[in-house]
Amino acid sequence: MSEAQCLFCRIASGEIPATVVFEDEHVLAFRDIDPKAPTHILVIPRNHVTSLATAQAGHGDLLGRILLTAAELARAEGIAENGYRTVLNTGADGGQSVHHLHLHLLGGRAMGWPPG
Ligand code: AMP
């Protein structure tokens, strides 16, 4: 799929609306359209990266920003004290359905383990 057709690139450009909760020049965070927990936010890089499997050493700073954004949003959502789950689904067996790297921030309820 080309980046022009990528769903999350289109959300990052503003072409497709989303409930954005944070954005800066590097990352965008918006509420998942089909939430799996009371808080379910996706944190993505603005620029297209297909998955963690295709990330390069040069993406290290960006990946750190994504994680730290999730931690800050967890505090803002009031779920940091009780805890939360951060998930990066990668590839077919990982359950990745949108091929633009995204971190799931899930919280507001107790999570099970192991994941399905
Ligand atoms: P994954 O299965 O890890 O690739 O996660 C993709 C996530 O994107 C799923 O949780 C979907 O509910 C979510 N999603 C799909 N389309 C949209 C959209 N237009 N706005 C917000 N979230 C979406």
pLDDT per position as a tens digit, 12-40: 999 999 999 999 999 999 999 999 999 99
Q: How far is the CA of 100 from the centre of ligand 1 (A)?
A: 10
Residue 2 reports pLDDT greater than 90: no
Q: Is the CB of 95 under 6 A from ligand 1?
A: yes
Please provide the average confidence, as pLDDT, over all residues in the chain: 97
Q: What is the pLDDT of residues 72-90, one digit of tens each?
A: 999 999 999 999 999 999 9
Buried residues in 59-83 as b, exposed as e (16+ CB within 10 A): beebbebbeebbeebbeebebeeee
Average pLDDT over residues 97-113: 98
pLDDT class of 3 with cuts at 50, 70, 90: confident
Give the predicted TM-score (pTM) of the model: 0.98
Domain ranges of the chain: 7-107
- The CATH code that applies to domain 7-107 is 3.30.428.10
Asked about 102 being catalytic, the answer comes back as yes
Q: How far is the CA of 8 from the centre of ligand 1 (A)?
A: 9
Nearest-CA neighbor of 24 among 69, 90, 80? 69
